[in-house]
Amino acid sequence: MPLSDFDCSDFEALGICHPVYRKGQGPGVLIMHEVPGITRQVADFARFVADAGYTVLLPSMFGTPGRGYGPANLLGQMMRACVSREFRLLARRGSSPITDWLRALGRKLHNELGGPGIGALGMCLTGNFALALMADATVLAPVLSQPSLPVGWTSGAKRALHLSEQGLADLKQRCGEGARVLGLRFSHDWMCPAERFERLHEELGDGFEAIELDSGPGNPWGIPRTAHSVLTKDLVDTHGHPTQQARARVLEFFAEQLRI
């Protein structure tokens, strides 16, 4: 079993129930997987965070844990997300309903562990969910890895944050009070357009830290233009590689925000 070293239990709230995998000890970090689900690479990243001294919760919101990134699986899980009532892939000014369930899961984790707060990291389809989770003041270390919602090719869609107007106002207030957000993307990733990070800079100012890895033609590391998943599928675990450095910065960010 690809997750045999994790504990697993179901979590039910707000009429939604999903299995949640758990590993590690220390401050809490909620990791939200990308499409097509908890792949081997996503599980490896969760292990990496747990081994660094964190209690990791990895909810399985869609897909079959352990299946790979094959085209059929990717397309199938994306189509399921499109028709699911828990996800709103096109919403520009509203978060997916699943974020309410994730907030409940985060509150449970924080109530159990105590401490200053928890981290929340989303990837791809779940990338912007960490912003919605900041509605709870206990989310102190939000990380957006290649946030890809809302899906769309218009200038408005590229700048949208998949967040309600009230959610954006609350986020700006928190950043004005010192909260911080970390974002990761490849420079030529059309699924996570540069305009989205530009909007976050405009709205959050110094509260937003962006790591944009060069994936353009002729880049010194040979990162392909198609690179998308900074911390999983396209991670190159070689000393000095930009993706390895980005992963290290995520751990530094968690330590800065959660080990107070």
**Confidence band (pLDDT; 50, 70, 90) for 70?**
low
**Confidence band (pLDDT; 50, 70, 90) for 225?**
very high
pLDDT at 69 over 80: no
pLDDT at 5: 96
Residues 6+ apart with CB under 8 A from 209: 180, 181, 182, 183, 253
pLDDT at 187 over 90: yes
**Confidence band (pLDDT; 50, 70, 90) for 2?**
confident
What confidence tens digit (pLDDT) does each residue in 52-62 have?
999 999 999 98
Picking from 124, 59, 144, 131, the residue whose alpha carbon sits closest to that of residue 94 is 131
Tokens of 208: 């937003």
pLDDT at 109: 97
Average pLDDT over residues 170-191: 95
Picking from 166, 103, 93, the residue whose alpha carbon sits closest to that of residue 129 is 103
pLDDT at 46 over 80: yes
Cross-strand bridge partners of residue 58: 21
Tokens of 19: 């299995």
**Confidence band (pLDDT; 50, 70, 90) for 73?**
low
The model carries a pTM of: 0.94
Residues 6+ apart with CB under 8 A from 25: 53, 54, 55
pLDDT at 79: 60
What confidence tens digit (pLDDT) does each residue in 83-138 have?
466 677 556 776 788 899 999 999 999 999 999 999 999 999 899 999 999 989 99
pLDDT at 82 over 70: no
pLDDT at 147 over 60: yes
pLDDT at 64 over 80: no
pLDDT at 149: 87
Look over the chain and give the mean of its residue pLDDT values, rounded to a whole number.
91
* Alpha helical stretches, state H, the chain: 40-51, 71-83, 98-113, 129-133, 155-159, 165-176, 194-204, 242-258
Q: Tell me the domains of the chain and their CATH numbers.
A: 7-258 (3.40.50.1820)
